Structure 1
Amino acid sequence: MVIEIAHFRLAPGKAAAFFEAMVTAAQFLRTAEGYRGHVVGRGVEAPDTASLIVAWRSHADHVDGFEPSEGHDRFLAALEGLYEGEIGVAHIEAGDAAPACIAAGSSE
């Protein structure tokens, strides 16, 4: 299992709208091949940021399957104008089990 960690810098005054839009955007994650769950939240030390953590079956499911897909385009379109700059993305190898916060159920 691979965990994707995506960092967003929220547009000023758009935090509530970002999290509302994430509910819609997440439907495109859920239908992706290899999707295992996700959690999203606002930065504690930096409340102008948000992080999306997604569990994928494999790195390829994310970068070769989801990223070039229409679902990914629709995911980004749902969040358009609600964050600034580039989305910072990193992947970590998680072995066979998703973290409990993801395995217990996805949240927006």
Structure 2
Amino acid sequence: MILEVAALYIKEGRNDQFESDFIEAGQYISSITGYIRHSLQKCIEQDNKYLLLVEWENLEDHTIGFRQSEVYNNWKEALHHYYDPFPIVEHFHVVVTNPLPAH
């Protein structure tokens, strides 16, 4: 499993519309082979900052399967105009995991 991480900074005054459009855009990313799940988290300290987390089966499912697909163009059209600056996207894999505590 690969975790895609992107810090998204949204143009001032656009948060509500961004969140609404993001819900709609979820259909595009979730239609791709290798997609597992995603979440959008809003920063408590910075009102216009969000964290996008997407789990993929492997790196190529994102970098090729999604980014080179027709639905990526729909994703871009729906969301890219909200970002300032454009986000840096990084990918991570687990090296250590903490087991659930015993009860």
Length-normalised TM-score, structure 1: 0.81
Distance (whole Å) between structure 2 residues aligned to residue 91 and residue 65 of structure 1: 15
Counterparts of 1:49 and 1:57 in 2: how far apart (Å)? 26
Instruction: Specify every segment of 5 or more residues in structure 1 that has no aligned partner in the other structure, as ranges.
Output: 96-108
The answer on 1:70 being equivalent to 2:70 is yes
1:22 counterpart SS class = helix
2:46 matches 1:52: no
How far does residue 28 in structure 1 lie from its aligned partner after superposition?
Answer: 0.4
Is contact 1:5-1:52 (8 Å) kept? yes
4+ runs of 1 displaced by more than 6 Å? none
Structure exhibiting the larger radius of gyration computed from Cα positions:
2
Count of aligned pairs between the two proteins: 95
Q: TM-score, normalised by structure 2?
A: 0.85
Shift of 1:80: 3.8
For residues 25 and 87 of structure 2, the distance between their equivalents in structure 1, rounded to whole angstroms, comes to 15
RMSD: 1.3
More strand by proportion, 1 or 2? 1
Residue identity (%): 26
1:26-79 CA-partner distances (Å, limit 9, x unpaired): 100110110000110211222211111000000011001111111111111111
Contact 1:18 1:83 in 2 (8 A): no
